Amino acid sequence: MRIKGAKYFVKPGQRFGRLVVIKEFSIIKYGYPLRRVRCKCDCGNIIETNLSSIFKHTQSCGCFRRENSANMLRTHGLWYDPVYAIFVNMKSRCYNKKDKNYNRWGGRGIGICKEWLDNPKLFVDWAYSNGYKKGLTIERIDNNGDYSPDNCTFADRLRQANNTRNNRIIKYNGDELSMADFCRKYNLNYFRFGARTGRLNWSIEKSMINCGHYVPMNDTDKARSLYERDDIMY
């Protein structure tokens, strides 16, 4: 019978981060024996976890993560600030290679200026002094430049969609409009029109037929829900 965690070996007293092994035992889960360990944390808590976990990521009873979060909150007091959330997301897409958007930012060499990167509070102060309000997103004026005070502003989603480097220009009846402006002018669902003219490679005229209704770009959840409704599918 296959035993989960068979390649790992521990003995009482062995240390893993803040955890010290007390003993190993096994349980039956989904019909298979699963190796578990009981450990004592340096903070005094006793925990039980999968044996494989302490070789991979579990290094405390959870106290380390709680202390780290508390320290971050004490350091700058910004943990629950919506602008700080913008900074965290901005930093992730620029420097975290596991971020799904990394290739479009960090992968292109886009970064954050040193003063903001070293002190997030300076970014938060700048944001509130330069027009931030709920519903706005940060936008780089030069899409090939870094996030910095002289290259950033706040915009609603429509304006940002018009400024993105991937913006699609629609030529129709003598007009040249961004796809966002085109959908607004002709009362079309942005996501549906984009799927038809892009992935499905339909003509503009065909894509406009029964294409739903325009929804402001700052209400993307509503726009997507309309896009996904069966009664206006392709």
Q: Is 71 part of any domain?
A: no
In a domain, 28, yes or no: yes
**Of 95, 121, 155, which one is at a domain's C-terminal end?**
155
**3-class SS of residue 39:** strand
Residue 20 lies in a domain: yes
For the stretch 3-32, pLDDT in tens is: 445 578 899 999 999 999 999 998 888 888
Residue 41's alpha-carbon distances to 19, 34, 36, in angstroms, are 5, 22, 16
Q: Is there a single domain that holds both residue 133 and residue 176?
A: no
**What is the mean predicted confidence (pLDDT) over 33-61?**
91
Q: Are residues 95 and 121 in the same domain?
A: yes
**146 and 81 belong to one structural domain:** yes
Cβ of 156: how many Cβ atoms within 10 Å?
15
Which of 88, 120, 155 is the C-terminal boundary of a domain?
155
The model's pLDDT over 63-78, given as tens digits with 9 standing for 90+, comes to 888 777 666 555 556 7
- Which uninterrupted H or E stretch holds 118? helix 114-118
How far, in Å, CA of 222 to CA of 189, rounded?
10
Domain count, the chain: 3
In whole angstroms, give the CA distance from residue 117 to residue 103.
Answer: 19
Range of the domain at 168: 163-232
Cα 135 to chain center, whole Å? 17
Residues 130 and 189 reside in one and the same domain:
no
160-192 pLDDT, tens digit each: 555 555 567 888 988 888 888 888 889 988 888
Mark which of 103, 127, 155 sits at the end of a domain: 155
The reply to whether 228 falls in a domain is yes
The strand pairing partners of 39, in sequence order, are 21, 47
Among 160, 151, 169, which residue's Cα sits nearest to residue 218?
160
> What is the CATH number for 41?
2.40.10
Do 55 and 100 reside in the same domain of the chain?
A: no
pLDDT band at 226 (very low <50, low <70, confident <90, very high): very low
Query: Is 169 in the same domain as 224?
Result: yes
**2 falls within a domain:** no
| pLDDT for 233 beyond 80 | no
